[in-house]
Amino acid sequence: MTKKKSPMENLKNLKLKKSWPPKNNFTPFFILIAIAISLAAMTPYLKTSVQNVNEDVALSELSSNYASSLYSEILIDGNKAIATLSWSKVIESGVEKQKIHTAILPERDSLSDIGLKNPEVTTKIEVKDLTSEKFWQNMIPTLLLIVLFVIIALFLISRMWGMANNAMTFGKSRARLFDSSKDKILFKDVAGAEEEKEELQETVDFLKNPKKYRDLGAKIPRGTLLVGPPGTGKTMLARAVAGESNVPFLSISGSEFVEMFVGVGASRVRDLFTNAKKIAPAIIFIDEIDAIGKKRWPGTGGWHDEREQTLNQILTEMDWFDNETNVIVIGATNRSDVLDKALLRPGRFDRKITVNLPNQSDREKILEVHAKNKKIEKDVDFKALASSTVGFSGADLGNVLNEAAIITARYSEKKITPNRLQQAFERIVMGLQKKSLVMNEQERKITAYHEVWHGLLWKLLPHSDPVHKISITPRGGALGVTWFMPERDAILTSKAKFLDELCVLYGGRASEEIFFWKDMITTWASNDIERATVIARNMVMRYGMYDEIGQENFAWVRGMWNYTGVEWDRPAVSEATQKDIDSKVREILTQQYQRAIKMINENKKLHIKISEDLLEKEEIDREEFDAYFV
């Protein structure tokens, strides 16, 4: 009985072909050198052909010039005389002739018969056969051109062969193969996400003990879809499944399937699944699967055909999995709403696991994981930092600690202190301090009064979050900031909380109107007004919080998929209903603006005191702010 090979042994035996073209030895630099050498070799012959201009003359003129010693040399080639003029003699005689004279000689017994044998003339006369010499003289440039053509042809052929090989590898999978025995990631290495890990533990059991499920007649799930915001650790969870199962992990991005050539993506899918089956049990991880898994539409042509063929091939490959095929496909996306329904039906990606942003307890664990390889002071309170990082993903938390390490190194300090962590946190959330941006005294005063009233309202209103810091130091694109810090992760938001938030947003504009007159209001409240308008419209149109309008969604909703892609269509709203909506939104905003003005007038002295202190200090933290209310 043959012993069944382990997944790791299968992985070692798998020989994946290289997808790179062969190295090209005929480089353009080599071609340039060959051209230069060929031109240099042909130069003497080209020069001769240009300078040696012939003129046919009569034999009598040739003999006369010979007797006058006008020639420096005469070559006799059969019945032809080739005489080279001596330019010194030409200048002396004042005769302008071509450099070479050619004359046809009659039949003769000797040179004396034609007057070319005179002892008193010093012209050199030589008799030779120039036929073979001329042959090679004419052939050498031709041979050099042939050699040059051959070199260029070899270069082009090698390039074309490389392109052909590369084209042949277009259909090869570009998946990265991870050996889980090396750099293994386990569930314990992934901080937080306890519910997600519990759901994925079932997938681990499928891979480790498939027989248990087959004996019961259960079909092993073929696909698992991880859905969640960016940075929540979807890839880490997929690798942890491979690590816990001790199986190979093939990872590829959705965008790597698609090329400009139709059919390439489908070929890569086939190659990927073929390789996975060779090393089964294994995991195929497709990151950003929405790049190829978007809803199909009736249009034809172009890139969409290629994407849809790739999607169809993935669906076909997953349908061909039998109960003996121990390969699990894990996809990851943060856009599950755009995925094709065929991809999500039972038998394909039928297991959907939502990977949420970490809660406070999970954030604390994630911070501790990221802090393992960093030198940090013992008095750093990760629990407090986790409490202040509501809405942060795991990647965001890692970035906070990395930024703190960079700031610490910049100041040549040995360990990360709580102060450096706070600086890193504020830099990421509020932006870098703009020390070069200098406000005049009037702008500083308006900013201080504006920001202080945001903080005062949050403190005075019942449904509010604690004020973390008030600052008039320019950061990022803001001249000042009031920073509120939720004490816990909010799941639901009440109508009362929305109304308090609207009042706070209008507090800055209301303070400008009261303390600096109505004609002195500035553009500083533009973002506050924009946010307030969005909240009020959502309360009326989306959340159904006002009976006058009704429990109906009048907001923009996702429409049908057509040739323009995903459209956003607005429900049919009558003119009268739209008028009621606009009137209600305006009423809500006006009420909260008047509420803010009323509260300012009731707390004017406290407002002025805190604002003047802020002008002096430029920043007021939570402890200092709470001291005003003791």
Whether 498 is in a domain gets the answer yes
User: Residue 94 carries which DSSP code?
Assistant: T
User: In angstroms, how far is CA 52 from the centroid of its own chain?
Assistant: 64
Degrees to nearest 5, angle at CA 75 with 73 and 77? 175
Q: Has residue 256 got a pLDDT over 70?
A: yes
Q: Residue 447: what pLDDT?
A: 86
Query: Does 167 map to a domain?
Result: no
Last residue of a domain, one of 430, 463, 489: 430
Instruction: Identify the weakest region by mean pLDDT among 10-14, 289-293, 486-490, 525-529.
Output: 10-14
Cα–Cα distance measured from residue 297 to residue 566, given in angstroms and rounded to the nearest whole number: 10
Quick check: 139 and 41 in contact, CB under 8 A?
no
Given 71, 106, 128, the domain boundary residue is 128
Give the contacts of 321 (CB within 8 A, at least 6 positions apart): 222, 327
Query: Distances in Å between the alpha carbon of 236 and those of 123, 283, 556?
Result: 96, 13, 35
* 553 within 8 A of 544, measured Cβ to Cβ: yes
How far is 125 from 111, CA to CA, in rounded Å?
10
C-alpha distance from residue 127 to each of 82, 99, 401, 514 (Å): 10, 19, 95, 119
Residue 398 to residues 19, 183, 231: CA-CA distances in angstroms?
35, 20, 10
Query: Residue 565 sits in a domain of what CATH number?
Result: 1.20.58.760
Same domain, 99 and 180: no
Query: For residue 497, which of 257, 505, 598 has the smallest C-alpha distance?
Result: 505
Range from 289-293, 505-509, 556-560 carrying the lowest mean pLDDT: 556-560
Whether residue 193 sits in one domain with residue 317: yes
Q: Which pLDDT score is estimated for 299?
A: 54
User: Cis (ω within 30 of 0) for the bond into 141?
Assistant: no
pLDDT confidence band for 566 (50 / 70 / 90) = very low
Cα–Cα distance measured from residue 200 to residue 83, given in angstroms and rounded to the nearest whole number: 100
Last residue of a domain, which of 301, 335, 354? 354
Calpha distance 132→105 (Å, rounded) = 20
Is residue 38 in a domain? no
CA distance 407 to 416: 9
Residue 561 lies in a domain: yes
Residue 22 lies in a domain: no
Give yes or no: residues 464 and 523 share one domain: yes
- What integer is the mean pLDDT of 340-354? 86
Say how many C-beta atoms besides its own lie within 10 A of residue 406's C-beta. Answer: 12
Q: Which of 198-202, 313-317, 362-366, 438-442 has the lowest mean pLDDT?
A: 438-442
Tell me the residue range of the domain where 496 lies.
441-627
H, E, C per residue of 541-552: HCCCCCCCCCCC
The predicted pLDDT at position 12 comes to 53
Distance CA 594, CA 525 (A): 16
CATH of the domain at 408: 1.10.8.60
Which tops the pLDDT comparison, 79 or 336?
Answer: 336
The whole-angstrom separation of Cα 470 and Cα 542 is: 33
How far is it, in rounded angstroms, from Cα 74 to Cα 82? 6
Residue 502 · residue 591 · CB < 8 Å:
no
**Cα separation, 104 vs 116, whole angstroms:** 13
The answer as to whether 409 is a domain residue is: yes
* Domain co-membership, 407 together with 453: no
Predicted confidence (pLDDT) per residue in 25-45, tens digit: 445 556 666 666 666 665 555
| Mean pLDDT value of segment 3-13 | 53
Q: Check if the beta carbon of residue 413 is closer than 8 Å to that of residue 382.
A: no
Neighbours of 172 (CB within 10 A): 17
Give dist(CA 96, CA 85) in Å, integer: 10
> What's the confidence (pLDDT) of residue 495?
92
Residues 566 and 530 grouped into a single domain: yes
User: Which residue, 287, 281, 282, is CA-closest to 237?
Assistant: 287
- What is the 8-class DSSP label of residue 172? S
Q: What's 373-400 look like in SS3?
A: CCCECCCCCHHHHHHHCCCCCHHHHHHH
Which H/E stretch holds residue 562?
strand 557-562
423 & 445 share domain: no
Cα distances from 497 to residues 81, 485, 531, 580, in angstroms, run 115, 15, 14, 23
Residue 285: pLDDT over 80: yes
Same domain, 479 and 588: yes
CATH at residue 349: 3.40.50.300
pLDDT band at 589, cuts 50/70/90? very high
Q: Give the distance from CA 308 to its chain's centroid.
A: 23
Taking the C-alpha atoms of residue 538 and residue 540, their distance in angstroms, rounded to an integer, is: 5
Does 348 lie in the same domain as 364?
no
> Does 91 share its domain with 199?
no
Does 417 map to a domain? yes
Find out whether 466 and 624 touch, Cβ atoms under 8 Å.
no
pTM as predicted: 0.65
Q: Given the residues 364, 451, 501, 513, select the one marked as catalytic.
A: 451
CA–CA distance from 454 to each of 418, 471, 500, 506 (Å)? 27, 11, 11, 8
> Domains in the chain: how many in total?
4
Looking at the structure, tell me whether residues 404 and 294 fall in a common domain.
no
Which of the 8 DSSP states describes residue 479?
S
Question: What's the pLDDT tens digit per position in 66-101?
Answer: 777 777 787 777 778 778 777 655 555 555 545 777
Dihedral sign (CA 411, 417, 422, 428): positive
For the cut 70, the answer to whether the pLDDT of residue 322 exceeds it is no
Residue 305 has pLDDT above 60, yes or no: yes
Q: Of 606, 499, 587, 500, which Cα lies nearest the Cα of 543?
A: 499
With contact defined as beta carbons under 8 Å apart, do 308 and 293 qualify?
no
CA torsion through residues 546, 549, 551, 553, sign = negative
- Residue 470, exposed/middle/buried by CB under 10 A (0-12, 13-18, 19+)? buried
CA distances from 581 to 86, 504, 517, 573, 585 (A): 108, 23, 32, 10, 6
| Beta strand residue intervals within 3-156, DSSP E | 54-56, 71-77, 80-85, 100-104, 124-127
Same domain, 213 and 67: no
Q: What angle do CA 546, 549, 552 make, to 5 degrees?
A: 95
Asked if residue 332 belongs to a domain, the reply is yes
What are the angstrom distances between the C-alpha of 133 and each of 80, 140, 392, 627? 15, 11, 87, 110
**591 confidence band (pLDDT: 50, 70, 90):** very high
Let me know whether 459 and 476 are in one domain: yes
CATH code where residue 68 lies: 3.30.720.210
Active site includes 195? no
